[in-house]
Chains A and B, each alone.
Chain A
Amino acid sequence: MAERAEASLLARVRPGRGARVAAVLRRLAAMPARDPFAFAGLTIYAAFVLVALFADLLASNPPLEIVFTKAGRLAANLPPSAEFPLGTTNLGRDIYAQLVFGTRSALAVGLSAAIVVASVGTIVGLVAGYFGGWFDTVLMRIADMALSLPFLPFVVVLTGFLGASTWNIVLAVALLLWPNSARVIRSQVLTVRERAYIEAARVTGARPWRILFIHVAPNILPLSFVYGAIAIGWAIITEAGISFLGFGDSTSVSWGYMLQDAFSSQALSRGQYHWFGPPGICIMLIVVAGFFISRGYEEVFIPKLRD
């Protein structure tokens, strides 16, 4: 009974779900023309996803296999050629193959960190913002604390001591990044909470958890997306930095592993730009794509930000 009253009241104070979905889709479809930045970002992401999916087809050599020239000699420090588009490492490994397979570990790190950051941040932000009280105070104090830890040193200490694994890096990144999203989502919840249709739902006797997840949550999901997109880039950069410092997982080939390998094998003094250049450019592209998308989605989902 209460739910039907709630529904009929809601129908009067806010547009139906179908209309809202259609509006969002319309704005998404108009995005390439209206926001070329966001479109470029999505294109970059799509390209990397394709490379990661078809890595086996794109690269013929396994990334850590030592290759030999046709004459049967170790193919070490070769410049770029038709056979090895980016040349080979000092130990005779195919740099192009490493770059292609590195896409997989980059996306794995980035996406898993993004999912954790977005979901933890969303749940904490929702609950703290909606219910308030001591629960809110405690959660926000924990968030303050996490934000006053120096980022990279914390990840170094955690992965250095817990062991060099990709998951420890994801864990460390997630531990430090959720407060940002939780705070912003919390403040958004504070304003959504006061809107007429929430008030209406409350008056009709809907239970708090139902209001929170059915009526409040959809309004802040776009923000979760934005913080997820930002976390992808952060996680990939952090993984690269940690691998560079020597605390990465040495069994999986990532872009950070490649940079560390190049750095410690004197690729810099030999001027092998084709070795240490591409991994850095890939990281840069994927992070820039995140910037572009978070900017674009903000405009699609939170129209008030549009001029």
Chain B
Amino acid sequence: MRLVLERFLHNAGALLAVTTILFFMFRLMPGTPLAAYINDNLNADQQRLMLEMFGLDKPMWMQYFIYLGNLVHGELGLSFFQRRPVLDILLEVLPNSLILTLTGLVVAYIFGVLAGAWLAWKRGSWVEGVAVPIVLASRAAPEFWIGMVLLALLSFNLGWFPSGGANSPGMFYTSEWQRLVSLDYLQHLALPVLTLALYLQGLPLLLMRSNMLEVMHEEFVVMARMKGFSQWRIVIRHAARNALLPVVTAFALGIGISMGGNVVVETVFSWPGIGRMLVTAVANLDYPLAQGAFLMIALVLITMNFVADLLYGVLDPRVRHGRAG
């Protein structure tokens, strides 16, 4: 329990730090935050009134606390370009990003864990000699480039998948849920998910492989072998279960990290998610929207760090009983 509280405070501190960095980063940006509202047609008095209306005449530290207060209430301001609350815009695209990330990760981790365990089994064979460099190469390729190659090959060349977006134009759905389970949506989802999965499978694969190699030498595995259990049973029941622990933690961390990486994948496939939203907002100098999108991504990242910390404690008794901090 102490550990939970400590990790919570730690991550909450990180979140506060990130929001603070963000606040000052955006305040130091060139141009006034009101560039989109104020133009030369307004006289000096009107401009001053405008500044007062947005609270920009107050000292910096006061603005900072107002900003924090607003964040707590989920108040992220109005988008300069869409003239709508930032939170509404973000909540519209957040499901797309989460679905993409989670599906991609699940596919990557199922494949990675199985292939990693299999490769550990094949230790020292030619399969290992071929497979390990290929896996390393897949981790070295730029994520968006994998997407570009798949897009050219599977979409433009073979025509198996649509080339971008989340839904075909002209489709109509009675509810958001119906849209998300429609065949059309799943077809659009397939290629970005495949890209993400190809890019992400390397980590769980290599982790699982090295964990398996380590666990296979542990006493309880040797014990099981001496008891005369079959190889298969040893691998599944004894070794794999223990080798999985770090992979589970990596999965939680992976959700947070790939939300950030989605910036490029969503752009390649014109996927209407939060990463692409950030890119367009920055390109348009839409400060409130960019700030909100960044915060949302950071929030997911830090929450997942916290979850990973907890999982680590729950899954590995040595951490729970060990010293805290």
Residues of A within 8 A of B (CB): 141, 144-145, 148-154, 156-158, 160-161, 233, 237, 240-241, 244-247, 259, 262-263, 268-269, 271, 273, 276-277, 279-280, 283-285, 287-288, 291-292
Give 14 A-B pairs besides A269-B156, A277-B149, A287-B141 with Cβ atoms closer than 8 angstroms.
A144-B14, A145-B18, A148-B298, A150-B256, A152-B261, A153-B278, A157-B278, A240-B144, A244-B142, A246-B283, A268-B156, A280-B142, A280-B149, A283-B145
Closest residue on chain A to residue B16 by CB atoms: A145
Q: A180 → chain B, closest Cβ, in Å?
A: 13
Known: A145-B18, A245-B267. A291 touches B142 (CB 8 A): no
A-B contact pairs, 7 of them (CB 8 A): A141-B13, A145-B17, A148-B298, A154-B294, A233-B140, A280-B148, A291-B136
Contact of B260 among A144, A153, A233 (CB under 8 A): A153
Q: A18 → chain B, closest Cβ, in Å?
A: 37
Are B268 and A263 in touch, CB under 8 angstroms? yes
A-side contacts of B139, CB under 8 Å = 291
Contact of B301 among A150, A158, A237, A276 (CB under 8 A): A150
On chain B, the number of residues with a Cβ less than 8 Å from chain A's Cβ atoms is: 52
B-side contacts of A280, CB under 8 Å = 141-142, 145, 148-149
Q: Give the secondary structure class of A's interface.
A: helix
Closest residue on chain B to residue A142 by CB atoms: B17
> Would you give the 0/1 interface string for B183-196, flagging 1 where the beta carbon is closer than 8 Å to chain A?
00000000000000
**Interface status of B137 (Cβ within 8 A of chain A):** yes
B-side contacts of A273, CB under 8 Å = 149, 152
Are B141 and A284 in touch, CB under 8 angstroms? yes
A-side contacts of B15, CB under 8 Å = 148
A-side contacts of B30, CB under 8 Å = 161
Closest residue on chain B to residue A238 by CB atoms: B142
Q: How many residue pairs bridge A and B at CB < 8 Å?
A: 134
**Interface status of B226 (Cβ within 8 A of chain A):** no
Residues from 33 to 50 in B contacting A, C-beta threshold 8 Å: none
Are B264 and A152 in touch, CB under 8 angstroms? yes
Q: Tell me the complex Cα distance, A247–B137, Å.
A: 26
Q: Tell me the complex Cα distance, A244–B298, Å.
A: 22
Are A160 and B282 in touch, CB under 8 angstroms? yes
Q: Tell me the complex Cα distance, A81–B267, Å.
A: 32
Known: A144-B14, A160-B282. A241 touches B144 (CB 8 A): yes
Contact of B294 among A141, A150, A259, A268 (CB under 8 A): A150
Contact of A268 among B26, B152, B256, B263 (CB under 8 A): B152
Known: A241-B144, A259-B148, A283-B141. A150 touches B260 (CB 8 A): yes
Are B137 and A244 in touch, CB under 8 angstroms? no
Q: Tell me the complex Cα distance, A40–B29, Å.
A: 44
Are B149 and A153 in touch, CB under 8 angstroms? no
**Interface status of B302 (Cβ within 8 A of chain A):** yes
Known: A148-B17, A153-B263. A276 touches B152 (CB 8 A): yes
